[in-house]
Amino acid sequence: ETGVTQTPRHLVMGMTNKKSLKCEQHLGHNAMYWYKQSAKKPLELMFVYSLEERVENNSVPSRFSPECPNSSHLFLHLHTLQPEDSALYLCASSQDSGSADTQYFGPGTRLTVL
């Protein structure tokens, strides 16, 4: 256990559905991240939050909408997704101290878009 939990672990949704992925960290960290891992592709950073402010958005389509209500929770709201959005979505957290900060990952949510 890394101290980062994600729910649900598996999700199947249609292209017209709206769903949300949840991430919670129990490590007292001040930064949280969303990554996407498609089949046979490297992990791609999607969003970064530091102290609940979004500091990076890597040209992610607007059908993905992140929310960070506090330093322990991170959501990824999904709407009108495409089949190519099927992937493993990973959440991570770290303590931004200005030095080499280690990111700790959750187990991921396996998303399938039909």
The contact set with another protein (CB under 8 A) reads: 2, 4, 6, 31, 33, 42-43, 45, 48, 50, 55-56, 88, 90, 92, 94, 96, 98-108, 110
- Provide the CB-side half-sphere exposure for 53 (13 A, CA): 3
Choice between 7 and 18, CB closer to another protein? 7
The CA-based dihedral angle spanning residues 9, 93, 89, 82, taken in that order and rounded to the nearest 10 degrees: 130
Choice between 3 and 14, CB closer to another protein? 3
- Rg of the chain over CA atoms, in angstroms? 13
Provide, rounded to whole angstroms, the least separation between the CB of residue 79 and another protein.
24
